[in-house]
Structure 1
Amino acid sequence: MTTDQFLRVEMLPALHGDCLLVEYGDSARSRRLLIDGGPIATYPHLEARLNALPAGDRRFELVVISHVDCDHVEGIVRLLANQPLPIRVIDLWFNGWRHLVAGGHLLGGQQGEFLSALIVRRFEQGQWNGAFAGQAVVVPEQGPLPEQTLAGGLRLTLLSPTPTTLDTMRDAWQADLGAAIAPGDLDGAWRRLAQRKAYLPGQGLLGTTPELDTLLERQLKVDRAAANGSSIAFLAEFAGKSCLFLADAYHQVIGESIKRLLRQRGQTLLRVDAVKLAHHGSAGNISDELLALIDCPRFLISTNGSRFRHPDAEAMQRIIARSLHQPPTLCFNYDSKTTRPWASAELQKQLNYRAEYNPRPDAPYLIDL
């Protein structure tokens, strides 16, 4: 890594969700990718960050929509509702219904339907899962883990989802459709999308109806385990720096993929500069076995705890006690009721860890790796 090369992660204020902007490059050129868009209230922050980019350089090598939970996807739906798009996207990763079912149509459970309708209208065919030749973004059951090197040299190694977790998501997704949207009816999904005031460009998405509001409320009750298990998660590496972006992925899946990667590379331990914790620091997404595979000084937690009271104390305690790198640093993008207890200087000294908080709560939290 030369002195002017960099890899940076920005955690945008995404309430209880994820919205991450990653930049990499050198003094001559900066490249970037966007991972998720948070819930709908995140969009003004995302819009402001995009508007701050140079007018002639709003290119994103990749946009990743990890899975269809509202706290990851709504801001992206709002972004894609703009016409024309305010950014240039080279590739977009998102597993829609056609990637869950062989020969399936472009449909999905509510938010997935909306996204599919938007993607079809906003992008060329080769831009949707382009790195995977338009097929599912998935870790095969055997063989090497999929790798993709973006322009400028950022290497991504896919860790999740697997065929099994996508199969589980397919069943939950189909059940969630109900009778509201006919399977494969993209035009119907588009009409419903166009009635959603929250996403209407210039008005705060495209008027609102009680029927659609009911659909969006039901989205929150989709099998969370299934949606989380379908998360697109990966290792990003550039110029000697690296970060694990784990979305809401299962720790068992990530652990097995890391073991495969270590075997591929002839290593016994994965050394990374940061881990963006899965599921906002949920106790169900981190394990001793996973931590034993990783040597990492920083753990990034994206949440204000407003909806699901993340991060869980058990998860933070597990990281503090089991991290191979001592002392570990917990990086919070919010100083909130659920994150503030970890700020205690006495507790940090007693348990041997460090806690860092976003110095500007209404701005992105920049972590320079």
Structure 2
Amino acid sequence: MALNIKALPANHGDCFVIEDTSDGYILVVDCGLKITYQNHLRKIVQKADTLILTHIDEDHILGAIPLIESIPESFKLGDIYFNSPELLKYKVSSGNISVRQAKQIDQLLLDKGINCLGLISEQNLNLTSNLKLHIISPRNCDLLELNKSKFDEDSKSANISSNNSFNNVMELSKQKDSYLSISSDLVNACSIAFILNYKDKKMLYLADAHPEIIADYIESLGYNEKNKLIVDIVKLSHHGSYKNISDRLVSFISCDTFWISTNGGKSRSKHPGPSTLAKLATKVDRNKNCVLTFLFNYSIEEIESRNGCLMTCEDKQTYKVVLKEQNEVVWL
């Protein structure tokens, strides 16, 4: 009996497969791009008891199109949770904010007779006797604002390029927070983020969520700088973007392992941001562990060859940080 958590290669996107081996229950969170499904997802699972599409960015939902098209011949689907255009009546757009593709998913689900459900903060999903999710975001007020939004044909998701100038960890950690306002980053602010509970283990899964929405909710649960939320893993928001982290959020968390899903990004979008790693290396409570570990589902060498050094060997030694290529975690 164990929980297997896999971060599949999804290029610059996300696709996580979580299996409770006690009964074979499979939770899939996001589907990356179409090639993510074709080259990876369909080769390791042929069903999802629950599928969560966290938000409408292309690098999270495009892989769901061939997945749904293959139902029921090649893939079996139970419940799907997606704050979709059909639920929220988004306007049509193109670009990285993939409303058109999300509408295609809506139509496919309708054609297949599959009901789609939404998720908002404070909901609980009891998936198995040991596997439970507590939903942190989106807030209903942000979904309402998203519903009012008017995407045009040139809509793009917020730029998440990493800070290009590289300094040492201490200098980077002192940089002011750079997160966008919620109103200017509404699609990501409406990401489905959650606390995953398995037996005595916890994972904070942040999708592309806004750091202050997460911090507000964690604080509402009674956590703060003195009484921190203790988790075993944090799946960092927006592939480790420096625009999706805040000092306040970091101060509320106690964790020694942070997971980053990315191949380094695409075009001018580069991730993770070195300042994200620096803030965590210097400021996060490590829950009594002296070593802080960053897990990557792609080659660190390839990411650094594209984007530059993430952290010097001297800083890794000074701050006891390990950068590790690992795409699977098993909890017993």
Q: TM-score range with shorter-chain normalisation?
A: 0.7 to 0.9
Q: Structure 1 residues 270 and 118, CA, compared in 2 at 3 Å: closer, same or farther?
A: same
2:161 match: none
* 4+ runs deviating over 6 angstroms: 104-108
Residue in structure 1 matched with residue 236 of structure 2 by the alignment: 277
Distance 1:329 1:112 in 2: 35
Report how far residue 82 of structure 1 moved. Answer: 1.8
Residue 154 (structure 1) aligned with residue 131 (structure 2): yes
Q: Is residue 61 of structure 2 the alignment partner of residue 73 of structure 1? A: yes
Residue of structure 1 in register with 2:2 after alignment: 6
After superposition, what is the alpha-carbon deviation per residue over 1:269-308, rounded to whole angstroms, capped at 9, x for unaligned? 2111101100000111111211121111110000111311
| Cα pair distance change 1:316/1:220, threshold 3 Å | same
Aligned to 2:264: 305
Q: Find the partner of 2:188 among 217, 225, 228.
A: 228
Shift in Å, 1:25: 3.7
Counterpart in the other structure of 1:237: 197
> Counterpart amino acid of 1:234?
F
Query: Could you tell me which of 219, 222, 229 is aligned with 1:259?
Result: 219
Which residue number in structure 2 is paired with residue 33 of structure 1?
Answer: 27
Q: 1:18 to 1:121 in 2, by over 3 A?
A: same
Question: 1:196: which partner in 2?
Answer: none
1:328 aligned residue: 292
| Partner Cα distance (2:91, 2:320) in 1 | 52
Q: Work out whether 1:137 is the aligned partner of 2:125.
A: no
CA contact (8 A) 2:91 2:99 kept: no
The equivalent of 2:330 in structure 1 is 368
CA contact (8 A) 1:43 1:78 kept: yes
Please name the residue that 2:146 is paired with.
Answer: 169
Q: Corresponding residue for 2:163?
A: none
Which of 351, 354, 359 is residue 319 of structure 2 equivalent to?
A: 351
Listed as ranges, the matches of 1:84-99 within 5 Å are 84=72, 86-99=74-87
Specify the code of the residue in structure 2 equivalent to 1:252: E
Asked if structure 1 preserves the Cα contact closer than 8 Å seen for 2:256 and 2:293, the reply is yes
Q: 1:297 to 1:367 in 2, by over 3 A?
A: same
- Specify every segment of 5 or more residues in structure 2 that has no aligned partner in the other structure, as ranges: 159-182
Counterpart AA for 2:130: G
Partner SS for 2:259: strand
Distance 1:83 1:147, change over 3 A: closer
Provide the residue aligned with 2:103 in structure 1: 113
CA distance in 2, matches of 1:83, 1:99: 22
Identical positions, percent: 27
Structure 1 residue aligned with 2:38: 44
**What RMSD in Å do the two structures reach over aligned CA positions?**
2.7
CA distance in 1, matches of 2:73, 2:219: 39
Aligned residue among 232, 245, 257 for 1:286: 245
> In the TM superposition, what is the alpha-carbon distance from 1:319 to its structure 2 partner?
1.0
Contact preservation (8 Å) 1:77, 1:115? yes
Indicate the structure (1 or 2) with the bigger Cα radius of gyration: 1
Distance in 2 between residues matched to 1:33 and 1:291, nearest whole Å: 27
The aligned residue for residue 202 of structure 1 is none
Deviations 1:320-355 (A, max 9, x none): 111100421100111223477347544311222111
Deviations 1:149-201 (A, max 9, x none): 113431100001012221332233x434x6xxxxxxxxxxxxxxxxxxxxxxx
Cα distance between partner residues in 2 of 1:224 and 1:13: 29
- SS for the counterpart of 2:204 is strand
In structure 2, relative to structure 1, the CA distance for the partners of 1:277 and 1:301 (3 Å cut) is same
Judging changes above 3 Å, is the alpha-carbon distance between structure 1 residues 91 and 151 closer, same or farther for their aligned structure 2 residues?
same
Partner of 2:167: none
Q: Is the CA contact (8 Å cut-off) linking 2:260 and 2:294 kept in structure 1?
A: yes
Contact 2:67–2:75, Cα closer than 8 Å, also in 1:
no
Task: Identify the structure with the greater helix proportion.
Answer: 1
Higher strand share: 2
**Separation in 2 of the partners of 1:74 and 1:19?**
11
Number of equivalences: 292
- Map 1:171-250 to 2 at 5 A: 171-172=148-149, 174-176=150-152, 218=154, 220=156, 225-250=185-210
Counterpart-to-counterpart distance in 1, 2:202 and 2:123? 17
Give TM-score, length-normalised by structure 2. 0.79
**1:98–1:105 contact (8 Å) kept in structure 2:** no
**Structure 2 CA distance for aligned equivalents of residues 151 and 259 of structure 1:** 27
Tell whether 2:313 aligns with 1:319: no
Aligned amino acid, residue 43 of structure 2: N
Aligned equivalents of 2:257, 2:35: Cα separation in 1: 27
Distance 1:157 1:33 in 2: 14
Separation (CA, whole Å) in 2 of partners of 1:75 and 1:262: 37
